[in-house]
């Protein structure tokens, strides 16, 4: 069969599995090639597979997507794939204002054109520095999701979007913050503050990437005037950056969680790459 161990492609000639970033020898549980991200994990041997614990851990392709969340004002959630200079940023919002003519993407107007922005190279790194340093964003690595699946999905959504018109490009360039060139943006749908926003778009992408996270927040029990033995639990889907921030923060502190807070690590990496 072409796909067996961890669902990866099996090379019959070599007896190795192809993970996208390098090949794995499943009999010895070692890679044929140094981890392309070895400089980020200096305490781990560069040829080891899943920290030498293949029973409990898996390695999807050597790279992991990240969710970034900041809570200034209405806040913002966005997603990245890739590592270092190969990072790609996907960020969604009302980058031309709302339907009521508001100029700010952070205005209280609940609707508007939904714009997806795709950054690569230096533009991606500069955007991450702005979000991390100026907006206080937190970065969370989602360890059970696939970079490749997310990139394929988001690139497909981006390619199907329409280019900005000349008038939209002028409006876009007058945004209160630097969002790159109009060529980085595509209008993909209609934005809705409560149902189709930056957070819901990021959740969809990560779930398509294969994560088992449900992105449902437990809000406690429904208050009742008298004691009941089994009170109803209040749960709701996450749609706001503030909810996403709380959700990921809690999960990142649990043992063996697939959510890892990598904010300090990303701050150091971005500052180093932009020197």
- What is residue 2's predicted lDDT score, i.e. its pLDDT? 57
Q: What is the dihedral sign for C-alpha 125, 258, 255, 25?
A: negative
Do 128 and 261 have their domain in common? yes
Do 106 and 204 have their domain in common? yes
Do 76 and 46 have their domain in common? no
Do 37 and 139 have their domain in common? no
Rounded Cα gap, residues 188 and 124, in angstroms: 20
Range of the domain at 142: 66-210+238-273
- Helix (H) or strand (E) holding 150, with range, is helix 147-160
- What is residue 12's predicted lDDT score, i.e. its pLDDT? 75
Using CB atoms within 10 Å of the CB of residue 45, give its burial: 0 to 12 exposed, 13 to 18 middle, 19+ buried: middle
- What is residue 125's predicted lDDT score, i.e. its pLDDT? 95
- What is residue 170's predicted lDDT score, i.e. its pLDDT? 87
pTM for the full predicted model: 0.73
Do 168 and 88 have their domain in common? yes
- What is residue 171's predicted lDDT score, i.e. its pLDDT? 82
- What is residue 180's predicted lDDT score, i.e. its pLDDT? 76
Instruction: Give me the residue label for tokens 């990598």.
Output: 262
Q: How far from 182 is each of 110, 152, 187, 273, CA to CA, in Å?
A: 23, 22, 10, 25
Do 165 and 132 have their domain in common? yes
- What is residue 10's predicted lDDT score, i.e. its pLDDT? 74
- What is residue 103's predicted lDDT score, i.e. its pLDDT? 32
CB of 113 closer than 8 Å to CB of 191: yes
- What is residue 114's predicted lDDT score, i.e. its pLDDT? 94
Give 197-212 pLDDT, tens digit per residue: 999 999 999 999 999 9
Do 30 and 71 have their domain in common? no
Do 44 and 151 have their domain in common? no
Rounded Cα gap, residues 111 and 12, in angstroms: 53
Do 37 and 172 have their domain in common? no
- How many domains does the chain contain in total? 2
Q: How far from 144 is each of 107, 150, 235, 238, CA to CA, in Å?
A: 34, 12, 23, 19
Do 38 and 113 have their domain in common? no
| Paired tokens of 122 | 């230096």
**57 in a structural domain:** no
Do 131 and 170 have their domain in common? yes
**19 in a structural domain:** yes
Q: What is the dihedral sign for C-alpha 72, 78, 84, 87?
A: negative
Give 233-251 pLDDT, tens digit per residue: 668 899 999 999 999 999 9
| Paired tokens of 244 | 């996403």
| Helix orientation angle between 241-252 and 198-208, rounded to the nearest 10 degrees | 40
- What is residue 79's predicted lDDT score, i.e. its pLDDT? 98
Do 94 and 41 have their domain in common? no
- What is residue 184's predicted lDDT score, i.e. its pLDDT? 93
Please tell me the number of Cα atoms within 13 Å of 55 on its side-chain side: 0
CB atoms within 10 A of CB 242: 15
pLDDT below 70 — which residues of the chain? 1-9, 18-22, 29, 32-62, 97-110, 176-179, 219-234
């Amino acid at each position: 069969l072409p796909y067996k161990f961890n669902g990866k492609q099996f090379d019959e000639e070599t007896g190795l599995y192809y993970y996208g970033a390098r090949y794995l020898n499943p009999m010895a549980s070692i890679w044929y090639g140094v981890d392309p991200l070895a400089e980020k994990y200096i305490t781990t041997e560069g040829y080891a597979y899943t920290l030498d614990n293949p029973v409990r851990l898996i390695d999807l392709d050597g790279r992991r997507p990240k969710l970034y969340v900041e809570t200034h004002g209405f806040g913002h959630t966005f997603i990245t794939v890739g590592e270092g200079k190969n990072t790609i940023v996907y960020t969604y919002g009302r980058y031309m204002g709302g339907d009521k003519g508001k100029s700010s993407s952070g205005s209280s107007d609940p609707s508007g054109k939904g714009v997806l922005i795709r950054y690569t190279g230096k533009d991606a790194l500069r955007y991450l520095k702005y979000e991390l340093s100026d907006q206080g964003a937190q970065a969370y690595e989602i360890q059970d999701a696939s970079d490749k699946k997310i990139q394929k999905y988001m690139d497909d959504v981006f390619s199907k979007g329409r280019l900005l018109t000349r008038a939209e490009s002028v409006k876009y360039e007058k945004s209160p913050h630097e969002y790159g060139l109009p060529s980085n943006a595509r209008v993909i749908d209609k934005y809705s503050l409560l149902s189709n926003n930056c957070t819901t778009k990021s959740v969809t992408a990560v779930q398509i990437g294969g994560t088992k996270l449900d992105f449902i927040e437990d809000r406690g029990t429904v208050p009742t005037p008298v004691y009941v033995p089994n009170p109803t639990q209040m749960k709701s889907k996450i749609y706001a950056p503030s909810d996403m921030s709380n959700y990921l923060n809690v999960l990142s502190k649990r043992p063996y969680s697939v959510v890892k807070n990598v904010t300090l690590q990303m701050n150091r990496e971005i500052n180093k790459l932009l020197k």
